[in-house]
Structure 1
Amino acid sequence: MAKVSCLLLTVSMTVALALAHDTGNYTLNKREKRELLLRSKRRWVLSTIELVEEDPGPFPKFATQMFNDKTALFKSHQFRLSGTGVTEEPVDVFSIDDEDGVVYVHKPIDRETYPFFHIMFDIINKETGELVDKTLTFDVAITDINDNAPYFEHPVMKASVKENMPEGYLPVPLTARDMDQVNTQNSNISVRVLSQEPAEPKINLKQVEGTKMSQLTFTGCFDYDKVKMYKVVVEARDHGIPALSSTAVVNLHIMDSNTHQPVFKDKTYNTHMMEMESNKEILRVAVTDADTPNTPAWRAVYSIVKGNEEGNYKIETDPKTNEGILTVIKGKDFEKTTLTNVQIAVENEEPLFVCSSGGATVNVTVKVIDVNDPPVFDNKVTNVYGMEEQEVGKVLYKPKVTDVDSDVEKIRYELVEDPAGWFTIDPKTGEVTTVKKMDRESPYVDKDNIYTILIQAIDDGEPPATATGTILVHLGDINDNTPYVVEKKLVMCGNKVIVPVSDKDNHPFGCPCFLSLGADNGDKALKSRWKLDPATGVEAGLVSLKSLPYGNYTVPLVIQDQQGMVVNDTVEVMVCDCGGGDKCRASLPRTSSLGLAAIGLLLAGLLLLLLLLLFLLLCECGGKTFTHLPLNLQDEGNQTLINYNEEGGGSACKVCGGVCMWVTRASVCACVCVCVCVQ
C-alpha cells in the first residue's frame, strides 16, 4: 500500500510541475493544483458550425464561437484560426476574433467546389507567444442545396439507324449527371422523352438495369421512303425542391435497307437462239426497285429456277444497269428441242425486310344493346329479430330496392317462400307483416332458431326482371311449452327404471325439470310403493320400495320446468322377469296336449253318456197316448204355451219307466218327458 501511495504522489507532482512550466512559472497553491487536476479533462468547447452553400449573406456572418477553459489562467490570450478557407485556398472565407473566439464567414461557398473545410483552432499566450493548449482540428461540411440542374454528357447526339432494324433498343445510350450531393433527392434523376418529330414510330426511354444509363427504344417500324430523320428531345429532371431540369437533342438518321422487292418490268419475255449456238447473250431482263440505287438493298441477284435442267443457260447481273443477262452456254439440238420455257427469279443482295406491323387492319364497331336490368336489393340477405307468439299484424321488414332501368314505384313484390304461412307481403311497398303467431319450436325453424323467408321484386320492364331477397327471422324463445315424459311405457326389470323427460323450450325455460309423485287417486299405497331418485334433470329414476308382483302399474307424476310451469303426466310401468336383460321374457307357447285330470274327466263323461243311452233302451213304450192337462191345471203358463195336435190324436206310445220333470221358471211350468217310442 505504501508503494502505491508513493506512486500516486509522484504522478500528481509531475502533472503539477508540467502545468507550472506551461503557464510560464506561474505560482500555484495547493488548492489551485487540485482544481487544475480536476479540470484536466476539459479543454475546448465548440458550438455546432452549420453552413449552407450559396448563403447570400449579409457578410461577414456569424458562424460559431470558440471557448477554452485555460483562458481563465492567463492575463492575456489570443485565438488563432488556420487551414482551408483561412490560410489555404480558398483564403478569406473564415476569420476569428482573437479576443472572444467568434468565427465569421465572409463569402458564399459552393459545395460542389469545396464540399468541406479542414480548419485548426489554437489559443496563444500573448506574453510568451506559446500555445496554451493542444490544437483543435475538425472538418466543416457544407450543406447541399439544389443549385445544379442535371445534364447530359452530350447535349446534341447523332445516331444512324437502319430502316430494317427490328423494334426494341436503339443504339443511343444516354447518361445524365448531377453535381449536387450524391444519394439525395437533389441528385436523383428521372429521364423521359419530351418530344419527337415525326410522332411515328413511338420512341421511349428505358433505364438500363444496374446502371445509371438510359437507352432509347421504339415500337413499330421505320420507313426510309417517308421519313429520313427524326428529332428526339429528352429531358433529365432531378427530385430536389425546386426541381431542376435540362434537355438534350438526339438526331436519328434513317438508313435505307431492303424493304422493297425488285419487280420485273415485263411479266413475260420472248427470245430466240440458233441451233447449237453457245456463249452468246440472248436476252436482257430489267427490274425496278424503290430502294436506294447502288446499295445492297437495290442491287439485283438473278437465278434460273426452271427450264435449265440440262445446264444450257446462265444469267448474270449487269453492275451498271442492274439488268439480268441471259446467256446460252451450251447449244441445243433443234431436232430434239424446238421450244424451251425458262423461269427466272430475282432478289436483292440484302435480304428483304417486311415490317411486322405492316399487316392489314380493319375497324369493327360493336353496338351494345340495352337489356332490362333487374331490381337490386340494398341487402340481399337481411336479418330481422322477433319473439315467438307475438301478436299478429306486426311489420317485420320493409325492403329498399333500386332499379337503373325501371321506376321503383312500379315494382311489385311477391312472397316466394314462407313454409309455415306466418307472413303476408304488400305487393306495392314490399312490407312483410305477420298474419299468424310465430312458433320457435316449429319444424320450419332451424337449429339456430332462424326462419327463412324469400321475397321477389319484379319490375315493369320488357321482359320483366326479378330480384330475390332473403329474410332471416331470428326468433326469441318464451316459456310456451310444458315439460313431458318422452317414453310413457316403461319396463322395470329390477327395482328401478329411468323416466326420460324433455321440454321443447330453450334455457332457461326448459329442463332440467323437477319431478314428484302425483295424486294417489285412491291408491293409498302409492307413496309406500314408489319413490323418485333422482328427481331432477332430464332423466328421473322411478324406484320401487318393495318387491312387486309381475304386472302393469300406472304411476302419476308431476313435472315442473325451471320457470315453475307444472304439468301432470303418467307412466305405465310393466314389472316383469327380464332374465338378466332389459326386456320382459316371452311367455311359453300354448300346446294342444291335455293333462291327466282332463283326460280322466273326459272318460268319465263318455261312460256316463253310455249308461244313459243303455237306460233309455231299456224303457218300454205301450199304447198309451199323451193327454192334455186339465184346464184347472193350466192356469200357469197358459198364456205362453201353445197347444199342438188338438184335432188329431197322437200315435200310441207305450211308455215304460218314463221320466217326467216339471220345470218352473218365471211362472211357466212344463213337463219334459224323455222316452223312446216304438210304433
Structure 2
Amino acid sequence: MLCTFRSTTKQEEYHSPDKVQWNEPGAHYSLTTKETLPRFPFSIDQEGNIYVTQPLDREEKDLYVFYAVAKDEYGNPLSYWLQIEVKVKDINDNPPSCPSTMTVFEVQENEALGKRIGIFTAYDLDEANTVHSVLRYKIVQQTPECPVDGLFLIEEYEGKVQLAKQSLKKQDAPQYNLTVEVSDRDFKTLCTIEINVIDINDQIPIFEKSDYGNLTFSEDTAVGSTILTIQATDADEPFTGSSKILYRITQGDKEGRLAIDTDPHTNAGYVTIKKPLDFETAPISRIVIHAENPEPLVPGVTYNASSFATFVLVVTDVNETPVFSQFVYQAEVREDVAVNTKVGNVTARDPEGLGIRYSLRDDTRGWLRIDPTTGEIFSKAPLDRETEHVYQVQVVATEVGGSSLSSTSLFHLTLKDVNDNAPRLARDYTGLFFCHPLRTPGSLVFEATDDDQQTLRGFHFSFSLGSESLQNDWEVYRINGSFARLSTKHTNFEERVYTVPIRINDQGWPPLEGTVNLPVTFCTCVEGSCFRPAGRREGIPTVGMAVGTLLTTLLVIGIILAVVFIRIKNNRSSDKVENAQASEVKPLRS
C-alpha cells in the first residue's frame, strides 16, 4: 500500500492521509516499523485511520515503510501484516545557500569583453529538478564602483560571471566585491564574490649588468658550490607570475654542468655546479644566461638584450685518478677452461692522457692474471666452481708517470659448472644394522649427493651393486633421484659387519660414477638397539683380546709372586745353617 503526502508543518499534524480496514468488525489495529527510527510520526486509530502525528521533513527522510497489524480481541493476528509506504512530497521550505563564505575569482587586466571570469554556483536543499530548486542569479551591488558601475554581469540561471563593459586596469582597482542575489520561488539569499585583478606581464626582466667577467675554478671544485650571484629586476607587480624571474643558460653549457636557483623574495640568481667540471673537455666556456618570466608576455612585448647576461668560466687542470669505463665488470666461463684462457677485459683512461698500467688485488686463490698494458684477464690456474661460484677480485689502474695515482674497479668471474665430481654418500652411514638372527628380509635407505650443481629438477642418480658376487645376498633399487634402498635377499647372515659396495652414477655429461661402501652390521639386539658390534673398530680391543690380556696379566703376576716366595724360602734356609755352624766353634782362652 503506497501513500503520498507532502511535508507538513506544526499546524498540519494529525492529518489522516489514508486508512486500513478488516472485513469484519471488532478488529484492533496497530502500527509497527520496519526499521529503527529516531522518531515515528504516524499513528492509527481503531477505525483504521492512519494519522500524521509529527511534522514531516523530506530533507530529513523522504520515504517511510511500516506495517499495519489487525488482531482480534485476544491479540491473535487476523491476517498477514500489511506493508505501508509513505512518500513525503517536497515543498519549498529551504532558502538557497551560498557555496562558501567567499567565492574568489581572478582576471587579468587585459581580458577582452565577454571573457568568462568564473561560474558561481549556489545550492538548494529542496528536491532537485523541481521548481523548488530552480535558482536565479542577479548582481545587486559592485564595490568599488570605479571606473564605472556595472563592470560585471552574471547569467540568470547558469551563474557565469563575465566582463560587461570594458577591460580592467589594476591601477583603477586591484579588487572588486560583488553582492549576488540568489533566489527561488519563495526565498532570496545574498552571496559575495571577490574578483582580483591580475597584473599583465608587460615588463621584461632587466639585468643589472650584462657581463659578469671571467670566473676561474679548478676542475675538482665540489658539486653544489655557488660560483656566481646574478641579479635582474622586473617592474611588474611584485610576487606574481609576471614579476617572478627564472634564469636559464642558453649557450656554453651543453653538458649541463651548471644550474641556477632563484631567490623567490629578491629574484637573485645563484649559479651552482651541478656536475663536475672537466678541464680536458671544456677548459673555457662562454656562458649566456636568459632572464624570463613564467607568465607569457602580452602581445607586442618581447625580450631583448637587457634580459641576457654573460660570463666566462675558466677551468684549471687538476691531476685526476684514472677512470674505469665500468664500476663492475662481469664475465662467465666454464670451470674447466684451460690455463691461460682469456676470461675478461677491463679498460680505464687517464683524464690527463697518461698511460695506464693494470694489476690485480685480492686474487686470494691465485687463479687470474692481467695483462698490465691491455687490461685483458686470463686464467693462470685451474678453476673450481665448487670452491668459488663467483670469484671476485679488484682491478687497479695506475697512471704511468705523473703522481702515479690509481683507482680500482671490481671484476666478477662467474664459473659455469661442469660434471667433474663423482657422486658420494650424503652422510656417514656407519650406524646401519640389522638384529641377528634376521627373521625376515630387511632393507635400509640411504642418500647420495654430488658436489656438482643440481639441475632444476634435482639430482638423477642410478644405483647398482658394486660386485656381482653379492647379487645372491643383496639387492639395491632407486627410490627417487637421490635416495635408494638396500635390501637383503635372505635371512642367513652371520653376526658380523658386512661391507656392501654400491655403484652410483650421476647420469651427467659426461657421466661420472663412484663406488661407495655401506657397512651393515648384524648384531644381537636389546630393545631394538644393537647390543655389541659384530666387528672390531680401529684402536678398540675385542672381547677376546680383552680376556687374553687379562689372563696374561694374571699369569705374569703369579710368576712374579712365585719367584719372590722361593727367594724368601731360600734365604731363611741359609740363615739356619750359618747359626748351627757358629754354635760349634769354641772360643779361645787366654
Identify whether the pair has TM-score above 0.5, normalized to the shorter chain.
no
| Greater strand fraction, Structure 1 or Structure 2 | 2
Task: Please give the TM-score of this superposition, normalised by the length of structure 1.
Answer: 0.35
Task: Please give the TM-score of this superposition, normalised by the length of structure 2.
Answer: 0.39
Higher relative contact order structure (alpha carbons within 8 Å, sequence separation ≥ 6) = 2
Q: Which structure's CA Rg is the greater one?
A: 1
